Structure formats: structure tokens, C-alpha cells
Amino acid sequence: MRRLMLVLTAMAVVAAAPALAAEMTVTGELVDHACYTKRGAEDGSGSGHAACAKKCAMGGQPVALVTADGDIYMLAGGVTADNNAALANHMSHTVEITGDVTESGGVKTITTDAVKHISAD
């Protein structure tokens, strides 16, 4: 019985742990996550939403990267320091980010210290 409890506990811990990080390079548009989630791609992204996205990023709101396929990656790590200082001027632009990607509860997160600007829309 004790052995069974240990096995079940170990299985529960493994199942609850997020997937191991895998380094990836992801290209997409930086968006304010709240606006993009609430308003959708049409009203929550693109050049028409750039000023709002920059203001929200500078206010410390969560920033996400949306790929051309519609995959969403929350950003974490050094790029989010100082109220997203490294990201603010890239909001609504296409960027390339290389970092450790994890997924937990259906949410993908990329952790990085650098962002590479690709284009402004």
C-alpha cells in the first residue's frame, strides 16, 4: 500500500509539472495580450493598435507574440523587465525571439532576454 501511494504521488507530481523547456525561435507580432484576447486580431493588433499596445506594455501589461498561424506565446524573462522596456518600441511590429518555450495549462511561454526587430507591420 505504501509503495502504491509513493507511485501515485510521483505520477501526480510529474503530471502537474510544466513541460521541459525547449529552445525555439519564433517570429510574429508583439501585442498587448489583454487587448488581443478581448478584441481579437482585427481590433487588437496591427498598426492601428500600436499606440495603445505600446502604452499598455509600458504600463507593465503582459505582452504576447502572435505568429502568422495564430499561435500565442506569452513573453517572460529579461525582455519584460522595467515594464517591458525592451519591448515597448516593438509593439505591433514583427519580431523574432529565440528563447526557452514551455507550455502549461495550454499557455505557451517563451523566456528570453532579447528581441530582434524584423519589420514595422
Task: Give the model confidence (pLDDT) of 36-77 as tens digits.
Answer: 888 666 665 667 768 888 898 999 999 999 999 999 999 999
Q: Name the grid cell of 71.
A: 499561435
CA distance 14 to 25: 27
- CA 50, 82, 41: angle at the middle one, nearest 5? 25
Cell 514583427 belongs to: 94
* pTM greater than 0.95 (yes/no): no
Instruction: Look up residue 20 and give its DSSP letter.
Output: P
17 compared with 70, residue with greater pLDDT: 70
CA distance 60 to 88: 10
Angle formed by the axes of helices 50-58 and 33-43, to 10°?
170
Domain ranges of the chain: 19-119
The CATH architecture annotation of domain 19-119 reads: Beta Barrel (2.40)
